[in-house]
Structure 1
């Protein structure tokens, strides 16, 4: 069972702060093409549930029918990915003010991962189709 923790996060310039009340103690790597375009490579994110508060000026972009991505309105730091139907936030692991101890849980959209890199850790993997099935249940 996943242990939950309360974590604080902030953007690069400090204008936006976030508080995740129920962050998981694991992180996932997403290899989808949107995450690669968003951040220049795989997205390393922590599932934080729906109890996330955001203070500061942000810009929100509806990146698909089912999700949105937010940025700091001043420095452009990537703040979160949110699944609209579940109001589920995923925060980049690098945002947390105190680096939590996190376990590498899984890799998603493995079918979109480029051949140019791979992680040394062996984790469970899900294709895009498996991810959509998992979150539609």
Structure 2
């Protein structure tokens, strides 16, 4: 992880508050079909490790979107709150949720092999295919 800071934020309606002691300043953009379907475009996230807590956690709905990943959203306003690796409980949180996102840097694009041709980012980033990205993490136990 690159430089880090603490993060606080909330969903659109304010019902759910998020606290993370570790927020990478490095932003990743995911181009996978699931992320694009979930949010209507690439999913821009910060890696927050596994030390994340929520106020009003009972208002979070969790959807197991794949064998290795689950997604959380506010069941009041629908705000996308996180993607979380099932095996390690590592959180990837949308950067727009954080209250003070002044020093984020867009550094990596993942699932670049699934990016559609109708958009491009001008930033120079590290680009990882689906296989390259998934190879970084432990395989889920069944």
**What is the TM-score of this pair, normalised by structure 2?**
0.93
- Any idea what SS the aligned residue of 1:129 has? helix
Note the 1:1-40 alignment, pairs <5 A. 2-40=2-40
- Any idea what SS the aligned residue of 1:86 has? coil
Q: Which runs of 4+ in 1 moved over 4 A?
A: none
Larger deviation, residues 72-81 vs 93-102: 93-102
**Structure-1 residue corresponding to 2:87:** 85
Note the 1:1-137 alignment, pairs <5 A. 2-56=2-56, 57-136=59-138
Mapped to 2, the partners of 1:28 and 1:87 lie a distance apart of 18
Where structure 1 has 5 or more consecutive residues not aligned to the other structure, the ranges are: none
What do the CA deviations read for 1:88-128 (whole angstroms, capped 9, x no partner)? 00000000112231111110000000000000111110000
- Any idea what SS the aligned residue of 1:134 has? coil
Mapped to 1, the partners of 2:83 and 2:92 lie a distance apart of 5
What displacement does 1:3 show? Answer: 1.5
What do the CA deviations read for 1:28-55 (whole angstroms, capped 9, x no partner)? 0000000001100000000000000011
- Any idea what SS the aligned residue of 1:65 has? coil
Where structure 2 has 5 or more consecutive residues not aligned to the other structure, the ranges are: none
RMSD across aligned positions (CA)? 1.2
- Residue correspondences, number: 137
- Any idea what SS the aligned residue of 2:96 has? helix
- Any idea what SS the aligned residue of 1:135 has? coil
